[in-house]
Structure 1
Amino acid sequence: MGLMLAFAVPAVVHPATARADNPIVQTIYTADPAPLVYDGRVYLYTGHDEDSSTTYTMKEWRVWSSDDMVNWTDHGSPLDLSSFSWASNNAWAGQTVYRNGKFYWYVPMTDKSTGRMAIGVAVSDSPTGPFHDALGHPLVENGQIDPTVFIDDDGQAYLYWGNPDLWYVKLNADMTSYSGSPSKIQLTTAGFGTRTGDANRPTLFEEGPWVYKRNGLYYIVFAAKCCSEFIAYSTAPGPTGPWTYRGTVMPTQGGSFTNHPGITDFKGNSYFFYHNGALPGGSGYTRSVAVEKFSYNSDGTIPTINMTSTGAPQVGTLNPYTRQEAETIAWESGVETEPSSEGGMDVGFIENGDYIKVKGVAFGSGASSFTARVASTVGGGTVELHLGSASGTTVGRCSVPNTGDWQTWTSVSCPVSGATGTQDLYLKFTGGSGYLLNMNWWQFTAASTATAHAR
């Protein structure tokens, strides 16, 4: 099982302990979060630190989404190094933006012909892909990293990137070409703070810029100083400056010597995404994405934000009476995800005692039954439905048959009793030894609906 086995032990030893909701992804290590709000959901684009990495071993990018900030759906990897014929390695921090009906994902990687870091751009008609290389060659290449894109109110788009410098270029409306030449933003101590002890880097700017505009003010949030990094920010009256250093957003903390900001507004709230080393085995090379809700000060300044294990509060509830992907998860123990033969992802590598937590499930007046799409090469696995915790009240049990293959799917149903109100739902998997089953999706039937049909 690898990464997530470490969670099974405390869950068994302390079954009543409430599980944390940060980091927001526990099935793999994630880094460098870049949120995008589109059509009522937050899409989160991340890097993927490979298990047991002792350097930045990153081969692909991943996508997640949520409509409530706590239950995150895994959309897999619609973009990786093999998507770019000119790239060799280092799938590092990128960002996706939406324009004119398309999604543009700007990502840095090593150009195999030069050995230097370059920035490519991939395009898709969907926020979850598939993405493909828009150009067949780098968009820009000067050996520096961490692209971020900002589209101003007048429609002019800017690409910023850099470490150790801070560069920008004006993108054309097609988002895959630019006008003029890349320019350096002058890094002054007034604009980016004072670094001590490094004559070659007089300012705090290190890497990971994130640029946006709010109430007429331009913000650049960035990873500051190295190492360990903290998150700082500056503001300006225009998209290229002059910048004024404003101070710390997130102090150094969290078990990773790097950090990377991503800020967005969603459903009337402001959110700060970052990464740390909080998962078992976590480090500066095996990082995990987390999120905090925050409020700007009245003068537009950003308050100091600290890392927590509780994360952002839920916005709204989850509807159990519509199909929910099994890979929509607030917290999990033991499971992993994989591509499904029916499309999207499924939850697999499930063993006895593993579970999935789904937060804030609105059962209302009650559910009468539960249906799950499952596959297995063994018999005897059971999906137990618990409320409140993995050992909480059991409201249903569904047996899973041998379907003949891990990707041969069938739907199983079972009665449900006692699932009312808004509850945290735990899908707990029990059975013998070894892998028990895969799950693609699940759905409850409301008791009132069943009664109405009976009439």
Structure 2
Amino acid sequence: MLNRFSRLVLMGIALMTVFAAKAQNPAISAIYTPDPAPYVHGDKVYLFVDHDEDDAVYFKMKDWLVFSTEDMVNWTYLGAPVSTETFAWAKQGDRAWAAQAVEHKGKWYWYLCCNTADGKDALCVAVADNPQGPWKDAIGKPLATGFGFIDPTVFIDDDGTPYLFWGNKGFWYGKLNDDMISFADGYKEVPGYTDPKSFGALQSKMDWSIGRNREMTQYEEGPWVTKQNGMYYAVYPAGGVPEYMAYSTAPTVNGPWTFRGRIMNEAENSFTIHGGNITFKGHNYMFYHNGALPNGGGFRRSTAIEEFKFNNDGTIPFIPFTKEGVKPVGKLDPTKRVEAETMASSWGVKLDRKGGKDHYVTSVHNGDWIKLRNVDFGEGNATAVSATIGQLKNAGSIEFFIDKLDGSSFAKIDFGKANETKEGRITGRDKPKGTHDVYILFRGGDEELFDLDWWNCLQY
């Protein structure tokens, strides 16, 4: 007869088989990550996201998070460096909505939206020397306020001129000065915003600024502006609620814009869809969010990613949703320090809610696991695995598996002390060789175990 320990472990393995055997979407599973804003910088993609709370039954959002990747499948959590508390003038503890960050002349600028203390929609900007911060309020006041002033997107043109676009139930833009924190000549409505030829056929939609329905174009909110081969693209959630993803193009940043149609359907289990596209290592990716995680929904949303190719004429094709997500474009080296918060998918574990540069995996229980993809063990010279834990709640262990959880592990490490670094030998028969997925399985009693900090493979 199976004891409670064995049943819990088998339950975790069964859930893995059902939920995440091959799935890469959502791309991050240890925390909710709506409104993804990717940014390519050198050989990394930084992902700036909002954060839906686990218990949200309406929009409950207090802070913004950062992740990074070099291979598009293993994402490293870089912390929660900005919150509503970063802006002393803002309403605290809520309304940390969609945002986007960019690097310009050695500084990073994060354009966000929140509420003023008296409840007005406001755009704000934080500045830092690097994506992990520390970030600070760049101007000590809102950059702009107005009804529907949410969802900012920043775009730097080929000549280095920066622009900011934003808006819900309205679409505005302005050229930024080179300081990135002020407008060169104010801001105005995007030309053609009310024209069906520019942003899609008119439909009756609720305009809360006037308290009734009015005829509006398909554009809804959350713009994402890019440029490709001399053409300007605006991708945005469209059509009202539920939203689909559409786009328009223009020969100049000032228009005229032409509506090009739907490129994504309504998101799974979410009435919103918000994201944008990047090109990284020769591949084009569209980011968006859905409510597909366990306990997910319209107020608990998660980043997902699809690869696509532009058509020969520069148009964006219709992009179907997939569970598989994207393929890796790089390999993970396990002989280097691998942060525990680097993962392709996971079950049960959580991430800390800290700023700064030191982060860890927490809320670890028996049967929880972490998966990493495309881990390169080379010629199989690893002889041991080393791992470090932080806070200890209860004794437990971690086991390392190749490609699946229902086989035998190639290494095991037991932990019984806080802030402990220990090694687990790799047996000759089970030595991993070549490129594989890796699962880290946590074992222990019924209570929370410990915080995992990092791990790596050793060669003696």
Equivalent pair of 2:49/2:65 in contact (CA under 8 Å)? yes
Within a 5 Å distance, the mapping from 1:239-254 to structure 2 comes to 239-254=253-268
Go from structure 1 to structure 2 and tell me whether the alpha carbon gap of 1:259 and 1:341 turns closer, same or farther (over 3 Å shift): closer
Does the 8 A contact of 1:206 with 1:223 survive in 2? yes
1:238 lines up with 2:252 in the alignment: yes
Question: Quick one: which amino acid aligns to residue 219 of structure 1?
Answer: Y
The answer to whether the 8 Å contact 1:370/1:414 transfers is: yes
Question: What corresponds to 2:4 in structure 1?
Answer: none
1:424 corresponds to which letter in structure 2?
Answer: D
Higher mean displacement: 377-386 or 45-54 = 377-386
- For 2:405 and 2:356, locate their aligned partners in 1 and report how far apart those are by CA, in whole Å: 28
Q: What amino acid maps onto 1:412 in structure 2? A: K
The residue number in structure 2 matching 1:440 is 453
Please state if 1:55 is matched with 2:58: yes
2:384 is aligned to: 369
Partner of 1:183: 188
Residue pair 1:73, 1:327 contacting (<8 A) in 2 also: yes
Give the C-alpha shift of residue 437 in structure 1: 1.8
1:399 is matched with which residue?
414
CA distance in 2, matches of 1:157, 1:130: 23
Deviation larger for 58-67 or 431-440: 431-440
Report what 2:117 is aligned to.
112
- C-alpha deviations, 1:176-198, integer Å up to 9, x for none? 01111211113110000103344
CA displacement at 1:339 relative to structure 2:
5.6
Match runs of 1:10-49 below 5 Å: 11-13=12-14, 16=17, 18-49=21-52
Q: Alignment partner for residue 129 of structure 2, among 88, 103, 125?
A: 125
Question: How big is each residue's C-alpha offset from its partner over 1:403-435, in whole Å with a ceiling of 9 and x where there is no partner?
Answer: 2xxxxx221111113211111111111122211
Cα 1:15–1:193 shift into 2, 3 Å: closer
**Equivalent residue of 2:186, what SS?**
strand
SS at match of 1:191: helix
- 2:423 matches 1:413: yes
Quote the residue 1:344 is aligned against: 358
Equivalent residue runs for 1:252-271 within 5 Å: 252-271=266-285
Q: Distance in 1 between matches of 2:451 and 2:405?
A: 19
State the Cα distance separating 1:19 from its structure 2 match: 4.2
Cα gap change, 1:10/1:200 in structure 2, threshold over 3 Å: closer, same or farther?
A: farther
Post-superposition CA distance 1:186-214 (Å, at most 9, x none):
31100001033446233100000000101
Which of 286, 297, 306 is 1:272 aligned to? 286
Given the superposition, is the C-alpha separation of residues 110 and 376 from structure 1 closer, same or farther in structure 2, using an over 3 Å criterion? closer
Distance 2:266 2:351 in 1: 31
Does 1:77 find its partner at 2:48? no
Q: Secondary structure at the match of 1:49?
A: coil
> Alignment RMSD, CA only?
1.8
Aligned 8 A contact 1:195 1:225 in 2: no
SS at 2:13's partner residue? helix
Q: Structure 2 CA distance, aligned partners of 1:434 and 1:191?
A: 57
Where has structure 1 moved over 6 Å in runs of 4 or more?
Answer: 7-10
Deviation at 1:253, TM superposition (A): 3.2
Distance between the aligned counterparts of 1:177 and 1:236, measured in 2? Answer: 25
In structure 1, what is the Cα distance between the partners aligned to 2:425 and 2:9? 28
Provide the identity percentage: 42
Task: Return the alpha-carbon distance in structure 2 between the equivalents of residues 319 and 71 of structure 1.
Answer: 12
Deviates more, 1:165-174 or 1:181-190: 181-190
Structure 2 matches for 1:67-216, cutoff 5 A?
67-88=70-91, 89-113=94-118, 115-143=119-147, 144-185=149-190, 186-187=192-193, 188-198=195-205, 200-216=214-230
Distance 1:177 1:110, change over 3 A: same
Larger strand percent: 1
Call closer, same or farther: CA 1:158–1:16 in 2, change over 3 Å: closer
Whether the 8 Å CA contact 2:79–2:356 is kept in 1: the answer is: no
The one-letter code sitting in structure 1 at the alignment partner of 2:337 is R
Q: CA deviation at 1:293?
A: 0.9
Conserved 8 A contact 2:394-2:448:
no
Give the Cα separation in 2 of the matches to 1:212 and 1:247: 17
Write out aligned runs for 1:350-389 (5 A): 350-366=364-380, 367-377=382-392, 380-389=395-404
Q: Residues 336 and 294 (structure 1 numbering): CA distance in 2 closer, same or farther, change over 3 Å?
A: same
Q: Secondary structure of the residue that 1:179 maps to in structure 2?
A: coil
Q: 224, 235, 247: which one pairs with 2:238? A: 224
TM-score by length of 2: 0.91
Query: 2:356 and 2:68 mapped to 1: Cα distance?
Result: 19
For 1:341 and 1:288, locate their aligned partners in 2 and report how far apart those are by CA, in whole Å. Answer: 21
Q: Which amino acid aligns with 1:177?
A: S
Greater mean alpha carbon deviation, residues 150-159 or residues 12-21: 12-21
Q: Following TM superposition, by how much is the alpha carbon of 1:261 offset from its aligned partner in structure 2, in angstroms?
A: 2.0
- In structure 2, relative to structure 1, the CA distance for the partners of 1:93 and 1:194 (3 Å cut) is same
Task: Write the distance in 2 (CA, Å) between the matches of 1:159 and 1:177.
Answer: 10
Contact 2:10 2:367 in 1 (8 A): no
Q: 1:210 to 1:319 in 2, by over 3 A?
A: same
Local SS of the residue matching 1:82: helix
**CA offsets 1:347-372 (integer angstroms, 9 cap, x no match):** 11111111100111000111211100
Give the deviation of 1:79 after TM superposition: 0.3
Gaps of 5+ in 2: 1-7, 206-212
Residue 150 of structure 1 contacts residue 157 of structure 1 at CA under 8 Å; is this kept in 2?
Answer: yes
Q: Which amino acid aligns with 1:434?
A: E
The answer to whether the 8 Å contact 1:35/1:42 transfers is yes
**In 1: Cα distance, 2:218 partner to 2:318 partner:** 17
Given candidates 422, 434, 439, the residue that maps to 2:435 is 422
Q: Distance in 2 between matches of 1:48 and 1:340?
A: 13
